[in-house]
Amino acid sequence: MTLLSVNLNKIAVLRNSRGGDEPDICKAAQTCIESGCGGITVHPRPDLRHVRPDDVRALAALLRGRVEYNIEGNPFAAARGEYPGLIELAREVRPTQVTLVPDSDGQITSDHGFDLERDIDRLRPLVDELRDLGCRVSLFVDAEAERFELAAAIGVERVEIYTGPYAHAFAEGRPEDLLAACANAARLANLAGLGVNAGHDLCQSNLSAFKAAVPHLAEVSIGHALIGEALYDGLAATVRNYVLLLQ
């Protein structure tokens, strides 16, 4: 079965919009766990627009020994104010997985993956450091990515296929080419010895087709759509629906 990791960034966005502690991100995580998810994902950013370093630490204490903990972020973003940097956060909380993403402050959300040929030398020492901390390392990649053997050679264990273009094409009724690209990336990654994750704009309406077409799918990370759907159906029920779709 493909593991569902629930991204809780949008819970933090809602809390931060009003200030204070509600909605409680740890209570949301607890609800997701009780509803059957296999992991929790957060993507702290230096501008603290949603999940903050204190959330990362609080969730680590809650999740340890229960479900997987995936922290995403740009490893090249410098420490700033309360944000100590992605590698330092990983050193503090030792998550199950760290997903490296080439995003910047100017992006509303992640919108592209690493270029493996161009970026691999810069990534090598960071991957070494994260592996020494006991973290599984995943790289965010586009569906058109190739040369996965370069990632495997520096100790990367998984890639996360960026599924935003697929979701957009699905909504327009023309997902075939993007599904084929995602499936090809998954096969190439598997041949290189890498596990396959996926995420971005996956939702209940487009997930079944994706899972049916894309082989070797170990994990999906879903946040924005899941939290939006939960506004209508409730968080526990929505998580259970996703778990059923992935079985």
Its domain, for residue 155, covers: 3-246
pLDDT for position 107: 58
**Contacts with 40 (C-beta within 8 Å, 6 or more apart), sequence order:** 5, 6, 7, 8, 29, 32, 33, 59, 63, 67, 68, 69, 70
pLDDT confidence bin for 103, thresholds 50/70/90: confident
Work out the average pLDDT over 129-154.
97
pLDDT of residue 186: 98
Active-site residue set: 43, 72, 200
* pTM tops 0.85: yes
What is the C-alpha to C-alpha distance for residues 187 and 171, in angstroms, rounded to an integer?
25
What band does 1 get if pLDDT is binned at 50, 70 and 90?
confident
- Reported for 49-56, long-range contacts at CB under 8 A and 24+ positions apart, including other chains, are 49/13, 49/16, 50/9, 50/10, 50/12, 50/13, 50/16, 51/8, 51/9, 51/12, 51/25, 52/12, 52/82, 53/82, 53/83, 53/84, 53/89, 54/82, 55/12, 55/25, 56/89, 56/92, 56/93
Residue 113's pLDDT is 81
Domain holding 43: CATH number?
A: 3.20.20.70
Give yes or no for residue 106 having a pLDDT over 70: no
SS3 percent helix, strand, coil of the chain, rounded to 5, is 50, 15, 35
> Taking residues 165-183, what's their average pLDDT?
97
Question: Per-residue pLDDT tens for 28-38?
Answer: 999 999 999 99
Domain count, the chain: 1
Tell me what the pLDDT averaged over the chain comes to. 96
